[in-house]
Amino acid sequence: ELDETVKVKLTIEYAGEAFSGFQRQAGQQTVQGSIEAALSTMFAGYAKKTGLNAPEECLLTGAGRTDAG
């Protein structure tokens, strides 16, 4: 049995003015939600091209700090 979980480390930096914080929130544009949506789209396109299975959604776990200003 294969473990289909893929773990990667992303180091990101962003200007936060366009977001309602990092963590996913219903009805709000967040950094986590935006990255998850982009990764899900990317993996779905790859799966279609290669015929491999893709996850229905990609979920992130964030760890870090926020600096005001």
Residues labelled catalytic: 67
Sorted by sequence, the CB contacts under 8 Å of residue 62 that are 6+ apart come out as 22, 23, 32
Q: How far is CA 23 from the centre of its chain?
A: 11
Contact 24, 36 (CB under 8 A): yes
